[in-house]
């Protein structure tokens, strides 16, 4: 399968625990995005990378959220000290960025996080 892959698909955690999600993008894509989606809303931008560089992190994100893409390939999103409000679907997408233009983004199936 050469699409975007996310693991795990589902995660249930207790409040206060740390969780880490992984995303493997399409191999030739240099841009990688993380989004969060709750019921009835569109995907909310969290952060994105061009190769290994993190270009922007949403102001809506607290310091409990961190993302890395150490070798410009896969990425991880970590949430520390989870809260019930963190429960959502976390979506990863990748695309090819060519200067100021981007090709369409392809999404993984998401990781559904439930904080109890």
Note the residues at the interface with another protein (CB under 8 A): 33, 35, 41-45, 48, 50, 55-56, 91, 93, 95, 97, 99-110
| Residue with Cβ nearer another protein (84 or 100) | 100
In the complex, what is the shortest distance from the CB of residue 67 to another protein, in angstroms, rounded to a whole number? Answer: 13
Alpha-carbon distance of 16 to 80, in angstroms, equals: 7
| Residue with Cβ nearer another protein (66 or 109) | 109
| Residue with Cβ nearer another protein (4 or 19) | 4
Q: Which tokens hold the place of 53?
A: 């560089």
In the complex, what is the shortest distance from the CB of residue 16 to another protein, in angstroms, rounded to a whole number? Answer: 27
| Residue with Cβ nearer another protein (48 or 65) | 48
Q: Contact 104/1 with Cβ under 8 angstroms? A: no
Is the torsion defined by CA of 47, 5, 50, 79 positive or negative? positive
In the complex, what is the shortest distance from the CB of residue 93 to another protein, in angstroms, rounded to a whole number? Answer: 7
In the complex, what is the shortest distance from the CB of residue 55 to another protein, in angstroms, rounded to a whole number? Answer: 5
């Amino acid at each position: 399968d050469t699409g975007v892959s996310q693991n795990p698909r589902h995660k249930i955690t207790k409040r206060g625990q740390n969780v880490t999600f992984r995303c493997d993008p399409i191999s030739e894509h240099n841009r990688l995005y993380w989004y969060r989606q709750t019921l009835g809303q569109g995907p909310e931008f969290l952060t994105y990378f061009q190769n290994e560089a993190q270009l922007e992190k949403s102001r809506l994100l607290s310091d409990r959220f961190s993302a890395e893409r150490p070798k410009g390939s896969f990425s991880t999103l970590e949430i520390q000290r989870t809260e019930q409000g963190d429960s959502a679907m976390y979506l990863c997408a990748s695309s090819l960025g060519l200067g100021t233009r981007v090709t369409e983004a392809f999404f993984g199936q998401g990781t559904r996080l439930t904080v109890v």
